[in-house]
Every structure is written in C-alpha cells, then in structure tokens.
Amino acid sequence: MNRIVSLKWLLARMYESDVVIVDCRFQLGKPDFGREAYEASHIPGAVYLDLEKDLSAPIEEHGGRHPLPDIAQLTGTFSRAGIGNDTRVVAYDDQGGAMASRLWWLLKYLGHEEVYVLDEGFSAWVNAGFPVNAEQRVLIPAQFLATVQHNMLVEMDEVREKLGHEHVTLIDSRDGARYRGEVEPLDKAAGHIPGAINRLWSDGKGAGGKWKSADEQAARFEGLPKDRETIVYCGSGVTACPNVLALQEAGFSNVRLYAGSWSDWISYGDNPISIGNEEQPSKA
C-alpha cells in the first residue's frame, strides 16, 4: 500500500468530498508557529491539528515529552476535524514529514486505513505554484469510530522486558550524536536504550526532500530481518513515526512504536542507559 502521495496526486483530488487535508506544521520551542503559519497560508480546504494541543496529551511524570492522547479525546479531535471512518486523509507539514507522520501513525493506530503523507511538504507545494489561501474551512463534524490496533504500540515495561532479546530489533531514530550520548539538547539524560541501533529518521528523505523509494528505504535497513519484531523510538515518539512508515514501505511486517521513547525511558531512574555505538547487526 502506498503511504506517500505526490503533490500532483493531491492537486488532482483536493476538492473531492471525501478528502480531508490536514496541516500539521509545528516547531519545537515555538508553540504558536504552526497555527500562525496555517492562518497566514495553507493548502485550500486544509484543517489544522497541533502536535502538542491535538496530537499529544499533557506532559506528566512518565509518558515522555509528547504522550499519546487519550483514545476518546483523540477520536473527538478527529471527528470535529471532519474525519470519519470513510474519509481519505492527507497530512502535510514543513518539517520533513515528521509531524505529518505522527498524524498518519495515530490514525493507523485507531484503525483508519485511508491516510497518507504528502511528499515534500508545504514549501514544495508553494514552489510548484499550486494554490494556497488563508480561508478557514467550515468544519462539519463526522463520526469517527476507533478500532484500536494495540499491536502497533509498545510500552516501557515491554521494551525493558525485551532488552537483549535476539528476536527483537530496537531502532533509535535520533541524530547519531544524541544516540551515542555525546550531546543531549532536550532530555535530562544522554545515551540510548541498550541494544538499540541508530537509523536517523531524516535519512528516509532524499537530497531534494522527497521520500525515498521502497527499495531505497530497504537499503537503509539492510541486514535487519523483515519479519522480526521491530521496535522504533526517538526522543518523544514523533520523529520515530517517519521511520515506522519507512520500515513499512521497505516491507517490514511487524513494526511497533515505543511512543514514550527516550524521554519516557529516562523518567524511570532504574532503566539502563548505553553510551556509544552498538554493534551493527550481521546481514541476514
């Protein structure tokens, strides 16, 4: 199944009645940036969903910096945005697909199949000369009924239980310096979960900002068995989502998100931490 759609694909379908376009632009440390950018200019008909206000729960002691929303709350958010069970959803951002992939994952997690990420993002849409405006769509609520896909999610205790398990692959999606524990600009402790290997999420995009092909994604994860349970995390569970998408594009069949990710892992004082590079897996 294709999970990435082109600018021209959306241009041809943007006014179809069953399509909802969602603007997911957001910048860490600038909580109003995305909403203000949306209000200034967006793809016609798009609705706006904010990473921290709509697609995350409030921060608590555990759960990480972007905890998963309550299922009922999230279902209500989607319903109010006009997303029903038969809606085709196209998500975009201007952050390399990270925020749009978060929405993609959340909808998949609630059992919604017809959800896609727009290739390249908003700036590329503008640069292509495609239409934008500042008009805000009148939202007509839709009925969204969740069928939660529990197998897509893994919690901290399960990750801990599976440390060192030979049939589990653990992937850290952060920058290499953060993974190795050399720097940590956001969280209280540096390093990574023991046994994790490093695959930077943004390496799933080519030089021009387009998502890599399925074969190119597969090359990023070469040597990792595609049928093995693969657990993906990042700093707060957001930029892991593009890697989840990329792994599925590459043919991996059992990919799970540790949504709390590193910021949740280190909130438990007795969880082990590793520094430096882990041994790379041998090719299967």
Q: Which residues are tagged catalytic?
A: 234
Query: What ranges in the chain are assigned the alpha helix state H?
Result: 7-13, 33-40, 71-80, 98-109, 122-127, 156-161, 176-180, 214-220, 240-249, 261-265
Q: How far is CA 207 from CA 7, 9, 174, in A?
A: 17, 21, 18
Q: For residues 216 and 219, what is the distance between their CA atoms, to the nearest angstrom?
A: 5
Q: How far is CA 111 from CA 41, 106, 191, 230, 242, in A?
A: 31, 9, 34, 20, 18
